[in-house]
Amino acid sequence: MDDINALGLIRTEKEKYTIFTDKLKSGEDLLLYNKDVQSTTERSVRLCTNIQKYINAIQDEIQSLNDIIKSFTIHLGEKMKQLVESGYFEETNTKIFKSEENGKNVVTSVLQFIGIKPSMMSGDTKAKQDARKRYDVEQARLMLEYEKIANQQHNLQKLLNQTEDVLAKAKTDITVTNSDVNSIASALRTWSDSLENAKERKKRKAKEEAEKRKREEDRKKREKEREETERRRKEEEERKRKEAEEQKRREEEERKRKEEEERKRKEEEERKRIEEEERKRIEEEERKRKEEERKRREEEEERKRKEEGDRKRKEEEERRKEEEEKKRKEEEERQKREAELKRKEKEREEAEQKRKEEEERKRKEEERKRKEEEERKLKEEEERKRKEEMRRKDPNNWPVYKYYRGSDQGYHNGLCCVVTVVEGNHGFTKEDLSCLSSDRPDDLKRCSENREEIVVASVVKIIPRDGFQFVLDVPMRIFVPYMSIDNDKEIKLKISIDGSKWTYPEKITPTANLNEINVPLVGSSLVKFNMVEIAVVSRPKRESFTIKNNVRNAAEIRPSNNENLIMRIPEGTFKRDICAHLKVDNALASRVSSEPDFNHIRIATPLFGVEFDEYTQNDVTLHIQPNYIKKTEFSESLHGRAIHQCANKLVTDMAVDDVIDKLQSKSVLTEQIINKIQSRASNEAKARELLELFKTASESGFKALVESLSAAKQGHLAQILQKTLTDLEESELGSDFEDVKSSKLQLVSSNDSKEWTIIKFRSSSNLPNNTTVSIPSNQRNFDLIGFVVPKGISDEEICRVANEIYQRIYQVPVRLIVKQHMERTSDLYIRCVEKSKSGDAQKEMANQGYKDGPEEMMELGLCDTEEVIFNANGNIKYVSGATQMSFFLNIDTAQPCVQIDVVNKKAQFSSRTYQGNLAYNVGDTPQSPPRSGSFLIHIPKEAQRYAPLTLDVPVKAAAKYLAWQLTKRGSPDKHDLYMKLCMDARKVKVLKNRANREGNTERKCCEAFIMSWASQRPKQENKVTTILESLMELDEDSLAKETDSFLMPFMNGFLSDKSIKELSAKLEPKWELLARKLGFDDEDIKAFNMDFDNDRMRALHMLDRWRLEDSTIELATDITATLLEAIV
């Protein structure tokens, strides 16, 4: 370092570090300034090092100067001592005299240290005068010498003072400048100059000049040497720098490779962890199911045991009562017998007296009885005929005709339907009717008229035989079997006569004569038809109201579970007595509030639905009190509502793990709750689980959440929450009602299960919270929902939301399973079953040989009769089978078998399998996951002719070239070459057998032999050299040289790995044109496009494949020329 001002530069570096420290304290990321920090640190270290060297040099020079001054002071003291001892320091006066010889005034300063004795100045002889003159000149010279010494002493003192000042500055950390050092150097030169006379100075200067010239020559020589050394050093540094850069580049590539491997390893570990968690979850569900099944069996056994005990106890009590009753009767009988004996004794005494009277009375009585008997027999005959007729018409006594499906047994042991007909009904026989059952999706879909209806039976079709005429005095009864349903559901029977619309007849309970049929049955009665279809569906239970005498009287219906609805039916709406079936879903609001997709709306009314047995003839009026105006209707607190309104933003942006840590430190969350949150798979799911805990948050809970967000450096979310709460509090000041400026009430309806539409309503002036809706005439089914929505939302969006909510109410959680046959991997078996039945479905599929294929099962929600459409893409395509299936909860028809095939068998050649996606979507309209998705399908490739080898390209090229040349020339004998390579006849035999299995021609067998031999050689061996040496040992020098020349481009030439990589980087967009010139067809090019995602990789693998093609090998030494010609 040349300038001491580097201390100022150090202060500049200190200021930079102060700025970096301030940025770090403010929360900014110091890594963003990594480059500035690194350069500043390096510069600071360099400056500090130079400053330390400079300070060490100054200290050394000052120490040397102090040593010189001390030495000079010692010598000066000794000289002064000698002068004092010689007597020159006596006190005298100063005299001025003039020399007559030279005419010059000599001023002699008689100082304290110059003593001229008076005796030496007395006398005036010539000798004395001459002596005095000489003495005076000598004294003047001495005086000048002493003045010179005094000046030297003064200059020395000045040098010492300046040196001490500079040392004091250095010790007190004051900056020592060049001017301070120059002043010391000037004082030193002044003192040094005062020590010598002009002659000495001249001599010294001449000497210094000579030394300076010498030094200059030496300096130039050293400068030249230094420049040469510097040049060599720079060249060496440049070489080392390049080596370091190359080493750094290699290290960076190695680091990136290791990072990529680490990333892949972590992804694989994560995938395995997720699969393991899924497996554990499925095992846990299976364990719970088995545990519940075991508990249910134990409870059932306990219940049966209790019932058996109760039965035995009752039998014992009855037996005991019977014995007591028997004893009581025996006692009573005994008493009666005694009384009877007494009575008979008395009667015998009276009998004789009354005998005559009795005989007369008996005669009259017998006459009367005879007449009564005749009348009784007449009445009994009439009663017998009446009972016989009643018995004949009693359905419990009717003959039962069972109809079965035939070859397709299906459900209920193949039972199709049951028909009962009154006895003697004009010769009716079982063959007079033809009954068919259908589980075809198209037929089943016709049964379900809306999303709440679930098909629980096959569609039964009954047709009379040709020419049969129904003449029945009593309607026949037809019963169809159906699946068991839950207690909260009800059965709905539908009948279509002669292709008409579905009607809903009154259901008939099965009679006693059908008890032997151990399946649920539901039926109806019919008189005459040409064709009838019967369907059975289940739906949530409805409250039924009978509307009587509506021709003259209006009716009013009030549901028992909701007082906010009144339905008024004007007179004349129905021509006969009918039933209205009403549903009120009060839980709709709570279900919708938990759905994040519907955060922008609020449910104002329950889901109202009404179904009439007949179509209405007049408009029906609904009076509704929507639950939306009073804010006291909200179940959440203000804080909970604020969190609910910000839920979407929180779920998207919140760093859940950091917030959980902060909440845990505040003791807001327990360990159990934290484990529950952490068990969720995604960050969004964790956020939703956390926000669910704050749904009814108090002020303290809300405050803890806001503080935790701020502490986790998510202050923007905390500000959004606080602002939302403030807005809610301000909106409630001064009024108990909703701000109608920002929201509105909308009612939507669906008639006869069609699309949802906006419906008009009116409010009462005296009761603004009451709403009146008019249902148009000619309706049979009607559903209605009320929403509170933002004013800016469109009617189409409201109707879309209503349809989406209505669908989700009745969706069933199902699993979509896709499996491949173990032997026929192109055969796919697809099942769509309830989530709880997925394990059994997989077992059934496995029993049929479908065990392979995707392990994952897609979980989604489906309504009954919804359709799932499949599409094959990627490198697979459909060959045969259904591309869509319909889901039915109770009838498992959603299990199509399809056959797929590979689109392009030349594609994906680097993979062990062909791959493609089996995509699915619910319905024709594109859906979002999970109602759409895909399965990855793998089709194993046929066995390859050669297993993948880890050999380099020159060995493969040598094997192909020699196989071509040996089979073409016929010399040397291949067996001789095999023996030279293997040196073992037994090994040659083994390798030849393997080669014969792998190759189908003589050339391919030879190639396979050399490749098999090479695969068994040590990795470090140069196999090409071994092959060439073997050829030369067989005296085939020309073939060895040709082979060596042929392999040159593959080893270090135009066809080496390095060269084709460089060439592919330059080709990129033109690779397809080159591929066609080199002989690749359209299928090959499509395969390259499918396998690789950029042109560079496609070009690289195209060249790699071309250089080892048989046609390329046959070009021999013209390979490079052919490639260059194709490129040009």
With the C-alpha atoms ordered 301, 302, 305, 306, is the resulting torsion angle positive or negative? negative
Q: What is the pLDDT of residues 260-294, one digit of tens each?
A: 888 888 888 888 889 888 888 898 888 888 888 88
DSSP alpha helix (H) spans, 611-698: 638-645, 647-653, 656-665, 671-678, 683-693
pLDDT at 949: 33
Q: What's the burial of 310, exposed, middle or buried (CB within 10 Å: 0-12/13-18/19+)?
A: exposed
Spatial CA neighbour of 906 closest among 1085, 1108, 1106: 1085
Q: How far apart are the first and last CA of the chain?
A: 60
Pick from 74-83, 187-196, 694-703, 1113-1122 the range whose average pLDDT is largest: 1113-1122
Measured at the CA of 24, the angle between CA 19 and CA 25, to 5 degrees, comes to 100
pLDDT at 944: 42
Name the pLDDT band for 534 (thresholds 50, 70, 90). very high
- As a whole number of angstroms, the distance between CA 953 and CA 948 comes to 13
> Which amino acid, residue 272?
K
In this predicted structure, the answer to whether residue 25 has a pLDDT above a threshold of 70 is: no
Pick from 20-29, 522-531, 939-948 the range whose average pLDDT is largest: 522-531
For 369, residues 6+ apart whose C-beta sits below 8 A from its C-beta are none
In this predicted structure, the answer to whether residue 748 has a pLDDT above a threshold of 70 is: yes
In this predicted structure, the answer to whether residue 555 has a pLDDT above a threshold of 60 is: yes
Q: What is the pLDDT of residues 830-858, one digit of tens each?
A: 999 988 888 888 999 999 999 888 988 88
For 890, residues 6+ apart whose C-beta sits below 8 A from its C-beta are 454, 455, 456, 483
Collapsing DSSP to helix, strand or coil, 630 comes out as: strand
The lowest-confidence range among 486-500, 564-578, 623-637, 1084-1098 is 623-637
DSSP state of 778: S
Spatial CA neighbour of 1057 closest among 1115, 1101, 1122: 1101
pLDDT at 968: 86
In this predicted structure, the answer to whether residue 363 has a pLDDT above a threshold of 70 is: yes
**Residue 99 backbone dihedrals phi, psi, to 5 degrees:** -80, 130
The larger pLDDT score, comparing residue 608 to residue 1092, is at 608
**Residue 624 backbone dihedrals phi, psi, to 5 degrees:** -125, 145
Retrieve residue 473's tokens. 């005095």
Continuous segment of H or E residues that includes residue 144: helix 126-171
For 89, residues 6+ apart whose C-beta sits below 8 A from its C-beta are 83, 112, 113, 114, 115
> Which amino acid, residue 561?
N
CA distances from 26 to 29, 629, 973 (A): 9, 48, 84
- As a whole number of angstroms, the distance between CA 866 and CA 885 comes to 9
Q: What is the mean pLDDT of residues 517-528?
A: 87
For 38, residues 6+ apart whose C-beta sits below 8 A from its C-beta are none
For 282, residues 6+ apart whose C-beta sits below 8 A from its C-beta are 839
The DSSP code sequence of 323-375 is HHHHHHHHHHHHHHHHHHHHHHHHHHHHHHHHHHHHHHHHHHHHHHHHHHHHH
Cα 1005 to chain centroid distance, Å, stands at 51
- As a whole number of angstroms, the distance between CA 1096 and CA 1100 comes to 6
- As a whole number of angstroms, the distance between CA 23 and CA 139 comes to 80
Alpha carbons within 13 angstroms on the beta-carbon side of residue 926 total 0
The lowest-confidence range among 576-585, 735-744, 806-815, 1072-1081 is 735-744
Q: What is the mean pLDDT of residues 984-1011?
A: 86
In this predicted structure, the answer to whether residue 920 has a pLDDT above a threshold of 90 is: yes
In this predicted structure, the answer to whether residue 125 has a pLDDT above a threshold of 70 is: no
Q: What is the mean pLDDT of residues 75-80?
A: 64
The larger pLDDT score, comparing residue 607 to residue 54, is at 607
Spatial CA neighbour of 1008 closest among 950, 1046, 962: 962
Of all residues in the chain, what percent carry a pLDDT higher than 90?
5
Name the pLDDT band for 6 (thresholds 50, 70, 90). low
Collapsing DSSP to helix, strand or coil, 75 comes out as: helix
Q: Tell me the sheet residues that pair with 821.
A: 850
- As a whole number of angstroms, the distance between CA 439 and CA 626 comes to 43
Q: What is the mean pLDDT of the chain?
A: 79
- The answer to whether the CB of 640 falls within 8 A of the CB of 696 is yes
- The answer to whether the CB of 756 falls within 8 A of the CB of 573 is no
The DSSP code sequence of 228-276 is HHHHHHHHHHHHHHHHHHHHHHHHHHHHHHHHHHHHHHHHHHHHHHHHH
The larger pLDDT score, comparing residue 1039 to residue 180, is at 1039
Strand 757-759 with 743-751, pairing: antiparallel
Range list of β-strands (E), 903-991: 913-922, 932-940
Cα 768 to chain centroid distance, Å, stands at 49
Q: What is the pLDDT of residues 681-724, one digit of tens each?
A: 777 778 878 887 776 777 788 888 888 888 888 888 888 888 88
Name the pLDDT band for 992 (thresholds 50, 70, 90). confident
In this predicted structure, the answer to whether residue 92 has a pLDDT above a threshold of 50 is: no
- As a whole number of angstroms, the distance between CA 558 and CA 1057 comes to 86
Q: Tell me the sheet residues that pair with 897.
A: 829
In this predicted structure, the answer to whether residue 921 has a pLDDT above a threshold of 90 is: yes
- The answer to whether the CB of 801 falls within 8 A of the CB of 792 is no
Spatial CA neighbour of 567 closest among 622, 618, 515: 622
> Which amino acid, residue 150?
A
The lowest-confidence range among 418-427, 665-674, 1068-1077 is 418-427
Strand 771-775 with 762-763, pairing: antiparallel
- The answer to whether the CB of 540 falls within 8 A of the CB of 489 is yes
Continuous segment of H or E residues that includes residue 871: strand 867-874
Q: What is the mean pLDDT of residues 224-243?
A: 88
Q: Tell me the sheet residues that pair with 762.
A: 772
- As a whole number of angstroms, the distance between CA 157 and CA 556 comes to 129
Measured at the CA of 101, the angle between CA 95 and CA 103, to 5 degrees, comes to 65
The lowest-confidence range among 185-194, 705-714, 946-955, 981-990 is 946-955
Backbone torsion region of residue 559, taken as left when φ is above 0, otherwise alpha when ψ lies between -120 and 50, otherwise beta? beta
Q: What's the burial of 492, exposed, middle or buried (CB within 10 Å: 0-12/13-18/19+)?
A: buried
Q: Using only the alpha carbons of the chain, give its radius of gyration.
A: 58
Name the pLDDT band for 536 (thresholds 50, 70, 90). very high
pLDDT at 820: 92
- As a whole number of angstroms, the distance between CA 1047 and CA 1023 comes to 12
Name the pLDDT band for 447 (thresholds 50, 70, 90). confident
Exposure class string for 271-302: b at 16+ Cβ within 10 A, else e: eeeeeeeeeeeeeeeeeeeeeeeeeeeeeeee
Collapsing DSSP to helix, strand or coil, 656 comes out as: helix
The larger pLDDT score, comparing residue 906 to residue 512, is at 512
> Which amino acid, residue 437?
S
pLDDT at 771: 80
Collapsing DSSP to helix, strand or coil, 82 comes out as: helix
Q: What is the mean pLDDT of residues 1092-1105?
A: 85
Retrieve residue 1116's tokens. 């021999």
- As a whole number of angstroms, the distance between CA 407 and CA 789 comes to 56
Q: What is the mean pLDDT of residues 99-117?
A: 37
For 888, residues 6+ apart whose C-beta sits below 8 A from its C-beta are 441, 444, 455, 864, 865, 894
Exposure class string for 354-363: b at 16+ Cβ within 10 A, else e: eeeeeeeeee
Strand 781-790 with 812-821, pairing: unpaired
Spatial CA neighbour of 425 closest among 525, 511, 533: 525
